[in-house]
Chains A and B, each alone.
Chain A
Amino acid sequence: MGELLRSLVSSVLDAAPPLIFAALGATLSERSGVVNVGVEGMMRAGAFVAAVAALAMPTPLAVVVGMAAGALVASVHAVLTIRLRCDQVVSGMAINLVMLALGTFLLEALFSSPSSTPPITQLPGWAGHPVTTWLAFALPVLVHLALTRTAWGLRVRAAGEKPQAVAVMGVRVGWLRAGAVLASGALAGLGGAVLSTATLDRFEHHMPTGLGFMAVAAMVFGRWTPLGATAAAVFFAFGDALRISLGSSAPGLMPQGVLLALPYLLTLVVLAVSGQRSAAPAALGVAWDPEVR
């Protein structure tokens, strides 16, 4: 039993971090009032750029470059949704599509391979897991404190609930939101970079395989709070680990199809048990326009 638990925990520690970073990112953006379904695309940018940068510099530095790439992609989202007030969902989806194509295109253009970049040095580990794993459990607390205990956090949350109030106080809603979206992109980029520098030792053309959407789901499941989103991400990873562990240790216990659906069934059960009214920020998805009351 102890052995089983140890292996479950180890599996969660490996699988949860990218999801946690991306879910934190999504939370930041949405708390400021900007829907971010472009997390998937920002993760892809982070994964690709970190792997390419790691060819030329130490991997930890490359991860930072990957975060910058995520933020760069997020800046497109910020300009489209905040400055130009385009539809936030459409912009996010467009980013996903463009990044999907751009990643494959650059892979072929730079490395003439449709499948992956050359291998790189992996991120160093500590106590059997990559350093990012430990960061993934420290960062949620920091983001939580920043959102709830600082003036900036209060303003960001207000921008997502009642931007008029923020504007009346003389704070610029657009810049607040832009800052949150950029931070969101950097976190999503970090999540992507973990995939290409810690999970694998190169960028593989399918990355991040829907993890970005999982992260958005984790954010909703976690009721738009950093700690909630982290708990949800860990829960998803745990469901996955449980399925994998059951699959090999008790073959035939249940059909593979049911096993593969297990994490989602678990999620449905938890949602049904904890079901309450939605906790979405009131001004989420509404572009800030000072002339509209």
Chain B
Amino acid sequence: MYTRAVALTNCWRTPGPGRQYARMRSTVLALVALSLVSACKRGNKDRPGADQPKAGLLVGLVTDVGGRGDQSFNDSALRGLESWAASSKFQSGSYTRLTAAERSATIPAELAARITPIEVKPLVVQSKAQEDYQPNLQLLVDQGASLAIGTGFMLENAVEAVARANPGSKFLLIDSPVLDTKGQPISLPNVRTVVFKEEEGSFLVGALAGLVAKDKVGFVGGMEIPLIKKFEAGFRAGVKTTNPKASVLVQYTGSFDNVQAGKQVTADLLDKGCEVIFHAAGSDGNGVIQAVKEARAAGRGVFVIGVDSDQAHLAPDAVLTSMVKRVDLAVWQAIADLAAGTFGNGDLRMGLKEGGVAMAPVTLDFPDKAKVLEQVDALRSRIVAGQITVPANQAQLDSFTPN
């Protein structure tokens, strides 16, 4: 610290042309000093080999940069591994056993019978930056993990590289197939991939929105990319099925990290008379929910539909339901297959039938609630039975006719 202080003080004494460099150097030093302080404090909570329950197979998981506590994608994957499979919870640096009651509280009712505990030992490594993915996955392999899980499409490259380098290890990649350099899906002998049929879940919440709203519903997307268009197509098809007269107003915020943008576009949709708004906009969605919450506080009977995980806790009186992606189920299923010796490679697509997407429980009250939910459930059964094919893009939506 002393030398740094000297460097800092020197910069206003150094005469002549050297001064410019000294100034810049001192600023950089100050920055380094500050970041060192925060780096020291951070510690490594998820350090491998931390206190874990004694159990059989070692199952490793690498989070994406969202990390533990994102209340969404990563937390869902961690739930599948830690709570559902290993019956443990991660608290202040180590794992403790969950009681049976605590464990079952994390499992939705419809899956309660299916999700059994599996004797595995979790090993979680968090990623702080994109560059961490590959070394983190390799670390899991080096620690002897029987299965290494990559959470999120951002880990696609890393999973591919590490899987090729370690043909003897098994991998699970969530939310993306393995892609070759041209972007075409390929399959590797030791990688299972899982993607979700978001359009099917979006269809259901769209059907619900169509029944709850009279003539206008809204959709707020983040960036206008194929994945989000899938949500939009399914949602529009759902609204069209239950309320063909309703118009769907669509907004894209162009980002996934801008709360204010989400709130602004939602204020506009509410102004134009939308009664139910579905968002697929990442963090922008916090702004969407906030805008609807404020409109309700101002006395308007409007609702918002959340995405990825059950977002009801963000605004219990405004969130009608959420389109849930069951990442936890995909993770648990892979571990169950591993334990049973049936884990194989391949690309799974999990829709309503497989339980990969679902509509979160509806706790709010609205007119004719029981009848409406019955209708939505009937649609669900028809999708599961294959009687309705839900459109996943604009072209399919154009040729979609409700029957």
The yes or no answer to A86 lying at the interface (CB within 8 A) is yes
Closest to B31 in A: A94
Closest to B258 in A: A209
B290 at the interface (CB under 8 A from A): yes
Q: Which residue of A lies closest to B63 (CB)?
A: A114
Contact in complex: A195, B260 (CB < 8 Å): yes
- Are A204 and B259 also in contact (CB < 8 A) when A91-B27, A94-B27, A248-B249 are? yes
Contacts of A86 in B (CB 8 A): 11, 23-24, 26-27, 30
Contact B11 A90 (CB under 8 A): no
Q: In chain B, what residue has the closest Cβ to A247?
A: B251
Say yes or no: is A150 at the interface (Cβ < 8 Å to chain B): no
Interface mask (A80-118 → B, CB under 8 Å = 1, otherwise 0): 100111110011001001100110010011001111100
Q: How far is the CA of A287 from the CA of B20 in the complex (A)?
A: 11
Tally the A-B contacts, defined by beta carbons under 8 Å: 137
In the assembled complex, which residues on chain A have CB atoms less than 8 Å from the CB atom of B97? none
Shortest CB–CB separation between residue B402 and chain A, in angstroms?
21
Contact of B254 among A105, A204, A248, A260 (CB under 8 A): A260
Q: Tell me whether A84 and B12 are in contact in the complex, defined as CB-CB below 8 angstroms, given that A199-B259, A248-B269 are known contacts.
A: yes
B11 interface neighbour in A84, A113, A128, Cβ under 8 Å: A84
A116 neighbours in B (Cβ, 8 Å) = 286
Shortest distance in angstroms between A19's beta carbon and chain B's nearest beta carbon? Answer: 10
Q: Is B259 touching A105 in the complex (CB atoms < 8 A)?
A: no
- Neighbouring B residues of A172 by C-beta, 8 Å: none
Query: Complex formed: what's the CA distance from A247 to B271 in Å?
Result: 13
Instruction: Please determine whether B12 and A101 come into contact, CB atoms closer than 8 angstroms.
Output: no
Q: Which residues of A contact B31 (CB under 8 A)?
A: 94, 97-98
Q: A98-B34, A251-B250 are in contact. Are A108 and B69 (CB under 8 A)?
A: yes
- Measured between beta carbons, the chain A residues less than 8 angstroms from B20 are 87
Q: Are A114 and B70 in contact (CB under 8 A)?
A: yes
A251 contact set on B, CB distance < 8 A:
249-250
Asked if A204 and B286 sit within 8 Å, CB to CB, the answer is yes
| Bound: A197/B185 CA distance, A | 45
Contact B23 A256 (CB under 8 A): no
Question: Which chain B residues (237-296) contact chain A, with CB distance < 8 Å?
Answer: 249-252, 254-255, 257-261, 263-265, 267-269, 271-272, 283, 286-287, 290
| Nearest CB of B to A160, in Å | 19
The 8 A CB mask of B1-24 against A (1 = contact, 0 = none) is 000000011011000000110011
Given A114-B68, A206-B258, decide whether A87 and B23 contact each other with a Cβ distance below 8 A: yes
* A-side contacts of B23, CB under 8 Å: 84-87, 90, 287
- The DSSP consensus for interface residues of chain B is helix
Q: Which residues of A contact B27 (CB under 8 A)?
A: 80, 86-87, 90-91, 94
Cα A184 to Cα B28 with chains together (Å): 23
Binds A, one of B35-43, B47-55, B162-170, B325-333: B35-43
A39 CB to nearest chain B CB (Å) = 16
Chain B residues near A200 (CB-CB < 8 A): 259, 263, 286-287, 290
Whether a CB of chain A sits under 8 angstroms from the CB of B99 is: no
B66 at the interface (CB under 8 A from A): yes
Stretch at the interface among A10-18, A28-36, A215-223: A10-18
Q: In chain B, what residue has the closest Cβ to A15?
A: B264
Contact present for B38 and A204 (CB under 8 Å)? no
Rounded to whole Å, the gap between the CB of A38 and the closest CB of chain B is 11
| B71: chain A residues within 8 A (beta carbon) | 113, 115
Q: Which of A140-148, A238-246, A273-281 contacts B (4 or more CB under 8 A)?
A: A238-246
A95's nearest neighbour on chain B, judged by CB, is B31
Question: 1/0 per position for A212-242, CB-CB distance to B under 8 A?
Answer: 0000000000000000000000000000110
Given the complex, which residues of B lie within 8 Å of A113, measured CB to CB? 69-71
Q: Which of A84, A90, A207 contacts B28 (CB 8 A)?
A: A90
**Contact A206 B69, CB 8 Å, known A86-B26, A109-B41:** no
Distance in angstroms between the alpha carbons of A116 and B283 in the assembled complex: 10
Is residue B355 contacting chain A, with contact meaning CB distance below 8 A? no
- Distance in Å: Cβ of A156 to nearest Cβ of chain B: 22
Q: Does B67 contact A (CB under 8 A)?
A: yes
Inter-chain CA distance A211–B255, complex, in Å, is 14
Known: A14-B267, A209-B255. A84 touches B260 (CB 8 A): no
CA A98 – CA B11 in complex, angstroms?
21
B28:A11 contact, CB within 8 angstroms: no
Contacts of A205 in B (CB 8 A): 283
Contacting residues, chain A, for B286 (C-beta < 8 A): 116, 200, 204
For residue A91, which residue of chain B has the nearest CB? B27
Q: Is the CB of B268 within 8 A of A244?
A: yes
Complex-state Cα separation, A45 to B34, whole angstroms: 15
Shortest Cβ distance from B221 into chain A, in angstroms?
9
Task: Mark A118-154 against chain B: 1 for CB-CB distance below 8 A, else 0.
Answer: 0000000000100000000000000000000000000
What are 28 A-B interface contacts by the 8 Å CB criterion?
Answer: A7-B272, A10-B271, A15-B260, A80-B26, A84-B11, A85-B11, A85-B12, A86-B26, A90-B28, A94-B28, A105-B42, A108-B69, A113-B69, A115-B70, A199-B263, A200-B263, A204-B286, A206-B257, A206-B283, A245-B268, A247-B251, A248-B268, A248-B269, A248-B272, A251-B249, A256-B254, A260-B252, A287-B23
A contact set with B: CB distance below 8 Å: 7, 10-11, 14-15, 18, 80, 83-87, 90-91, 94, 97-98, 101-102, 105, 108-109, 112-116, 128, 195, 199-201, 204-207, 209, 211, 240-241, 244-245, 247-249, 251, 256-257, 260, 287
Identify the B interface with A (CB < 8 A). Answer: 8-9, 11-12, 19-20, 23-24, 26-28, 30-31, 34-35, 38, 41-42, 66-72, 218, 224, 249-252, 254-255, 257-261, 263-265, 267-269, 271-272, 283, 286-287, 290, 298
Known: A85-B23, A87-B23. 16 other contacts (CB 8 A): A7-B268, A84-B23, A87-B27, A90-B28, A91-B27, A94-B30, A98-B34, A98-B35, A101-B38, A102-B38, A116-B286, A200-B263, A211-B260, A247-B252, A248-B269, A251-B249
7 residue pairs, one from A and one from B, having the closest CB atoms: A206-B257, A113-B69, A94-B31, A86-B23, A7-B271, A86-B27, A90-B27
